[in-house]
Amino acid sequence: MKTIKKIGPYEIIREIGRGGMGVVYLAKHPTLGIDVALKAMFPDPSRPKDDPVMIKAQERFKKEAEICAKLNDPHIVTIYDCGVDDDTGIFFIAMKYLDGGSLKDLIKQKGQFTLEETLEIIQPIAKALEYVHELGIIHRDLKPGNIIFLRDNPVITDFGIAKNVKDTINTITDETGRLVGSIPYMSPERIDEKPFDHRADIYALGVLSYEMLTGTNPFAANTHTGAMKKVTTYQPPLISNEVPNIPREFANLLNNLINKESNRRPENLRELIEFDLLKIQITQIREQFEKERQRENTDRKRRERDEKARTRNQENTNVEWVIKEREIDAKRLYEIERKKQLAEESVQKESKKKGTFTLVIVIVVVLIFALSIFVFGTNKDNSETALEKLLDGYSLISESGENPNKSLALDAFYVFDDAQRKATETLLDEPSNNLAKVILIWLFNKSCG
């Protein structure tokens, strides 16, 4: 194929891409002097010019230009011109040149996108699609390769197979039998060639979003048949189960966008357009803060309960200690009182004993005195001597009564014995004297215990 240098009034600079319906060139606008993207559809030399297939293909090509010319949105490619080259019969559409590369290239380069990055691209595309749908147009071929960047702004291109919602074309092939669209982004009803509406584009945008977040298209396969089967039977996992930190609100929304039943998808893209990630994040932060606050309150209450329990236990321990100390003090006091009582009882017993002993001594003295009179009455001198001895013995007995001492008692006994011996020197023959002595000794022994 020879090199093309000019198509219509446009000078060709270089080829920048190829598609199902033609080739895209970088060209120079003849009057404005600006770079344009020139989409060219070459006639099939094997078919006559009046071939119905070629006529329909040319009509579809013109239709793309007409549709794009009606659209005025910063995220939809701008059409400058369209026509046919008289010399070659090439149909062309001159569009604004977008120099930022395609989303397809960016996905290959970047892999996965964060939710923030995904929304920065998807939400402007959703606004543009919503605008297109309001005009009754269905794009039918929304995919990463048809989203081109102008600097950082994503732009929808290639409305070549777009149709009006009133059209009844439901096939996925064109009049030449070629596949129309990209299977991994087609909705299940399109694969089954059932009637479809703008919700087919909503489905495609959902698949595109899923691919950006995960890095892979969930319906991609090695063959067209395999991809078709996955589109109609496979339900991808909830995105929040595949990618961390995805809010449940967005996960549910995306799950609805790629629902296999078209009547269960959102009627429009308003919810996606208005999805406010910052608001969701603030809500999540507030919820997290509230959870943390509740957890702190729970922990604080638990600590307070534990502290009260410890205080109670300490108080109980203190009370038990005080009770124990008091019990010990009470025992000590009881022992002291008991010892005191025993001491008093001992003193009382000693007093009683002393009193009894003194009484016995007194009785003994009286009896001894009486006996001495009886014994010593016949001899005055002996009686006087005996009386003096008795008085000495009484004195010793009195002393021994105040402070019972066996040695003193013996001294008293020796005095009495001496007195009695002197008395019996003159009254040795009288039996009463011996009897008196026996009685005196018996009384002495009793008194001395």
Strand-pairing partners, residue 11, are 6, 28
CA distance 128 to 139: 11
Tokens of 163: 């149709």
| 16-44 exposure pattern, b = at least 16 Cβ within 10 A, e = fewer | ebeeebbbbbbbbbeeeeeebbbbbbbbe
CA distance 443 to 449: 10
Looking at 221-276, list the stretches that DSSP marks H as alpha helix, in order from N- to C-terminal side: 224-233, 239-242, 248-257, 270-273
CA distance 237 to 400: 120
Contact 32, 10 (CB under 8 A): no
Who contacts 411 (Cβ-Cβ below 8 Å, separation ≥6)? 396
Q: How many CB atoms are located within 10 Å of the residue 425 CB?
A: 9
| Positive or negative torsion for Cα 177, 180, 186, 192 | negative
CA distance 108 to 326: 86
Strand-pairing partners, residue 76, are 156
**Rounded to the nearest 5 degrees, what angle is found at the Cα of 46, between the Cα atoms of 41 and 52?**
70
Which is the catalytic residue, given 99, 141, 411, 429?
141
CA distance 440 to 368: 7
| 320-340 exposure pattern, b = at least 16 Cβ within 10 A, e = fewer | eeeeeeeeeeeeeeeeeeeee
CA distance 56 to 66: 15
Count of alpha carbons within 13 Å of 353, Cβ hemisphere only?
10
CA distance 189 to 182: 14
CA distances from 202 to 7, 72, 219, 227 (A): 36, 20, 16, 19
Phi-psi region of 33 (alpha: psi -120 to 50; beta: other; left: phi over 0): left
The reply to whether 105 belongs to the active site is no
Catalytic residue positions, numbered:
141
